[in-house]
Amino acid sequence: MKGIYVLILRMKESKDIRVGKLGRLHFRRGYYSYVGSAQGSGGEKRITRHFNVARGKNTTRKWHIDYLLPHSEVICAVFSPTDEGLECVVAKIISKYSEGLQGFGCSDCQCGSHLFFTGGNIMGEASDICEGVSGNESIIIYP
């Protein structure tokens, strides 16, 4: 199933992490939200891949988020089915009340970021945003 998703992550402690070509970035203790697209042939299987990277079952580093996942706790993924590429719309909405990490996860678009420091867990807000943007009910997926 194709769609858009928001991964909710928690950093238990502040940490500097090397993120591919972005170099070393500082991640504060707290919650982060990563906005992604599951529009490829695997659809929502991309979320399973993220869970596997976080658990250490997949060590391939293909996207920026792959560098952060092993250092964070994945709380859940908020997934909303859609055939439209709406992740940038979701990212723009979340950016209005969160701090984006410049250039993270947005190499293929014009957004400033697709990873946001939200401080707290925004699972409910992310669900509402995804539903509002896609017009479809969101599904909460736990690792």
Phi/psi of residue 75, nearest 5 degrees: -80, -50
**Model confidence band, residue 26 (pLDDT cutoffs 50, 70, 90):** very high
Phi/psi of residue 123, nearest 5 degrees: -50, -50
**Model confidence band, residue 81 (pLDDT cutoffs 50, 70, 90):** very high
Residue 129 structural domain: 3-141
Say whether pTM exceeds 0.75.
yes
Number of domains in the chain: 1
Which of the pair, 43 or 123, is modelled with greater confidence?
A: 123
Cα–Cα dist 143/84, whole Å: 25
Residues 6+ apart with CB under 8 A from 60: 53, 66
pLDDT in tens, 129-139: 999 999 999 99
